[in-house]
């Protein structure tokens, strides 16, 4: 059994509750120590509890002309946690500037000013397993060119939540008197005790900053450049040029002036590396090009910077609007291939490992993928074909096997749902890769699965892991999954079994291997996948927590898996604080959960005792009535799960 605890609410005797992140009791009370230097940028995470892509600064000096957003690196996946900006992407991979698991912000002075940094300070919180002894190593780094990063000082180690040791950066010459044309990028790296982080910036209360940067912005004596764009807002699919930029100087020169141009986000809009203001003139025009990505990212703000020797730089802001990309409904591993036949009329089969909604669409193609990141240049080659499968109006239950037959012919059919085709879908027995994805037939917005009989075909950039990709013997003509379909506690746990080559039977030879009387044969086995018998936490965790232990935090929202099981939370849903109304705290309870619980109280956060009165079990909820009196009381719920 696994003993868990979760903070219910930090309660004051006057009944004015102050919300804390559930599961973060010991992490909620340490005060943030801020430097004496003036703050030019600071982030208050109090009240934040979503896995948003970025967090805007509450303090941001008006003489900064860059984005005020705190963002994550590509390896630091978003994680919801109360009063936090957090990630479950931090690993135990050490600290290196080549790592992609980091948090990042940028700072640059507006035209006519210089930037000097004096201090970095932050407070942190996260899952107990990640910061367990010997703790989390954290370290900041900086860059003045956006690519070469230098680590600041030595790593600082934390074994619990709270403030970091304040970092003095006034001695770093590269961070002093930074001209307005230079962007300073600050990153935070972390390495802890688990492969998934559950760690990040945290604010204990409103007005306390989870990240604070001290410094000054001083006036520059250089003459200014001018910079404008028309229009300043355009769609990501706008024809070239999407806009025209103009840079200018106050007085014409006797020689040409080279003006450097930089886009803060070249994945949204691009500009030439430089433009020349010719001798005897005071301005020059250049094209601004829109970049059409495949991401459902709404309107994106960015800024263009113009700089030249002897002049203070200028900045022009732009907005690039989305052109209506459709988000995927199904994530990687929602289906898995269980059959592949490149002989005869071509056939495929897949199993739904998650429910598929009514009329949901999945595309299948054997087009070559270029290996680049989805949404950042990743694309299919031209030629070959695409099969479109649409789920029936009733949807498809998890465990259902769907056969796609005669894909080479107009008589193609699906055992469940409907099919259509575009182009020539003709699988090769000499080596092939089939991708399953959502989006549009020509432009994926999310990959779901892949099966390959040729190792040279790229799968990078698809966000598919090894468990989502079936690797058959090279040049296999036909392959079928022959492993178990009834021994797993959750459908998602079949992924590893299906991805294991030993659980596949393949053939490679002349003639039609799908109808030669030797297994495997077409039609493929349509037996549905089912779950092993049993109840309890293990069964719930298989489908909702990747079979992690009860004290882990699979979705990174600060609540242990066992608590979410007790509350009946579905996978990936942010678990909010328990409700407090009329002096009563209420926790949800799943009546089917095999677990025991205890409401615990403390006056010092050190000594905890079971509540002797005021606890009421309503079946689908647990209710605790706060005791009367002036003494401050802390309350938490402890859950003991059964296997």
The answer to whether the beta carbons of residues 177 and 170 sit under 8 Å apart is: no
Other C-beta atoms lying within 10 Å of the C-beta of residue 423: 15
Going across the sheet that includes 621-625, the strands are 579-581, 584-588, 621-625, 615-617
The CATH class of 226-321 is mainly beta
Judged against a pLDDT cut of 50, whether residue 328 lies above it is answered with: yes
Q: What is the pLDDT of residues 451-469, one digit of tens each?
A: 999 888 888 989 898 889 9
Residues found in the chain: 643
Mean pLDDT value across residues 190-211: 91
Tokens 């005020």 locate to 68
Which tens digit of pLDDT belongs to each residue from 581-611? 777 888 888 877 888 888 888 877 767 788 8
**7 has a pLDDT exceeding 60:** no
pLDDT of residue 440: 87
pTM of the full structure: 0.49
The pLDDT score that the predictor gives to residue 337 is 98
Those residues with Cβ within 8 angstroms of residue 509's Cβ, 6 or more apart along the chain or in another chain = 477
Run of H or E residues at 141: strand 136-143
d(CA 427, CA 441): 17
pLDDT at 387 exceeding the cut of 60:
yes
Mention every residue, 6+ apart, whose C-beta is less than 8 A from residue 243.
Answer: 229, 230, 231, 232, 234, 287, 288, 318
For residue 35, pLDDT beyond 70: no
CA distance 270 to 421: 36
Locate 528 and state its tokens: 């549905």
Which pairing describes strands 386-390 and 401-405: parallel, antiparallel, or unpaired?
A: unpaired
Q: Domains of the chain: which residue ranges?
A: 24-219, 226-321, 335-515, 539-641
Provide the 8-state DSSP code for 617.
Answer: E
| Least confident piece of the model among 11-25, 475-489, 531-545 | 11-25
273-288: per-residue pLDDT in tens?
999 999 999 999 999 9
DSSP for 626-641, please give it.
Answer: PPPSSS-EEEEEEEEE
- Are the C-beta atoms of residues 349 and 413 closer than 8 Å to each other? no
Q: How many helices (H) and strands (E) does the chain have?
A: 3, 45
Helix segments in 44-196, DSSP class H: none
CA distance 33 to 59: 16
Record the tokens describing residue 525, joined without a space.
């086995």
Residue 643: predicted pLDDT: 59
**Phi/psi at 304 (nearest 5 deg)?**
-105, 140
The Cα–Cα gap between 506 and 513 comes to 9
More confident residue, 247 or 398: 247
Of 221 and 616, more confident: 616
Q: Determine contact, residues 444/293, Cβ cutoff 8 Å.
A: no
How many C-beta atoms lie closer than 10 Å to residue 634's C-beta? 21
Strands 84-87 and 199-202: antiparallel
- Which tokens belong to 488? 């797993």
């Amino acid at each position: 059994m696994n003993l868990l605890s979760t903070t219910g609410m930090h309660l004051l005797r006057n009944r004015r509750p102050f919300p804390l992140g559930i599961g973060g009791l010991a992490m909620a009370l340490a005060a943030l120590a801020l430097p004496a230097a003036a703050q030019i940028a600071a982030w208050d995470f109090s009240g934040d509890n979503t896995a948003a892509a970025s967090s805007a600064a509450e303090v941001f000096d008006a003489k900064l002309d860059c984005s005020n957003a705190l963002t994550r690196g590509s390896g630091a996946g978003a994680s919801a946690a109360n009063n936090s900006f957090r990630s479950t992407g931090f690993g135990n991979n050490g600290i290196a500037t080549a790592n992609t698991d980091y948090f990042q912000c940028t700072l640059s002075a507006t035209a006519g000013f210089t930037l000097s940094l004096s201090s970095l300070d932050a407070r942190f919180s996260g899952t107990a397993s990640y910061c367990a002894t010997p703790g989390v190593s954290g370290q900041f780094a900086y860059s003045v060119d956006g690519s070469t990063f230098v680590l600041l000082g030595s790593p600082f180690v934390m074994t619990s939540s709270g403030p970091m040791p304040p970092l003095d950066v006034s001695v770093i010459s590269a961070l002093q008197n930074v001209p307005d044309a230079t962007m300073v990028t600050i990153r935070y790296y972390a390495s802890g005790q688990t492969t998934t982080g559950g760690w990040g910036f945290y604010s204990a209360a409103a007005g306390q900053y989870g990240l604070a940067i001290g410094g000054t912005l001083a006036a520059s004596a250089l003459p200014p450049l001018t910079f404008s764009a028309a229009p300043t807002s355009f769609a990501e699919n706008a024809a070239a040029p999407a806009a025209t930029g103009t840079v200018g100087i106050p007085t014409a020169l006797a020689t040409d002036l080279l003006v450097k141009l930089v886009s803060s986000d070249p994945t949204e809009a691009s500009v030439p590396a430089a433009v020349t203001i010719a001798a005897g003139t005071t301005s020059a025009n250049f094209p601004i090009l829109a970049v059409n990505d495949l991401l459902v990212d709404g309107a994106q703000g960015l800024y263009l910077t113009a700089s030249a020797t002897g002049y203070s730089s200028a900045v022009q802001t732009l907005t690039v609007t989305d052109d209506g990309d459709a988000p995927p409904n199904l994530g990687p591993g929602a289906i898995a291939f269980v059959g592949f036949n490149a002989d005869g009329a071509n056939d495929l089969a897949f199993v739904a490992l998650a429910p598929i909604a009514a009329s949901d669409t999945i595309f299948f193609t054997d087009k070559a993928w270029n290996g680049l990141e989805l949404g950042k240049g990743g694309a299919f080659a031209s030629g070959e074909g695409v099969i479109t499968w649409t789920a029936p109006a009733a949807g498809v239950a998890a465990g259902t096997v769907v056969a796609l037959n005669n894909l080479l012919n107009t008589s193609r059919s699906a055992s469940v749902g409907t099919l259509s085709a575009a182009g020539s879908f003709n699988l090769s027995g000499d080596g092939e890769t089939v991708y399953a994805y959502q989006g549009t037939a020509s432009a994926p917005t999310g990959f779901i699965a892949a099966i390959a009989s040729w190792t040279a075909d790229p799968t990078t950039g698809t966000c598919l892991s090894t468990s989502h990709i079936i690797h058959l013997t090279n040049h296999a003509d036909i392959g079928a999954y022959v492993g178990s379909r009834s021994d797993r506690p959750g459908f998602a746990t079949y992924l590893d079994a299906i991805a294991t080559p030993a659980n596949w039977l393949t053939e490679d030879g002349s003639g039609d291997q799908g109808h030669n009387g030797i297994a495997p044969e077409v039609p493929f086995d349509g037996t549905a996948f089912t779950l092993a018998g049993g109840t309890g936490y293990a069964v719930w965790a298989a489908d909702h927590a990747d079979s992690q232990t009860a004290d882990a935090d699979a979705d990174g929202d600060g609540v242990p898996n066992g608590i979410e099981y007790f509350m009946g939370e579905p996978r990936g849903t942010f678990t909010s604080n328990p409700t407090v109304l009329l002096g009563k705290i209420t926790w949800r309870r799943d009546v089917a959960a095999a677990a025991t619980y205890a409401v615990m109280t403390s006056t010092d956060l050190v000594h905890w005792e079971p509540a002797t009165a005021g606890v009421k079990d309503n079946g689908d909820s647990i209710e605790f009535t706060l005791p009367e009196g002036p003494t401050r009381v802390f309350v938490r719920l402890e859950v003991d799960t059964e296997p």
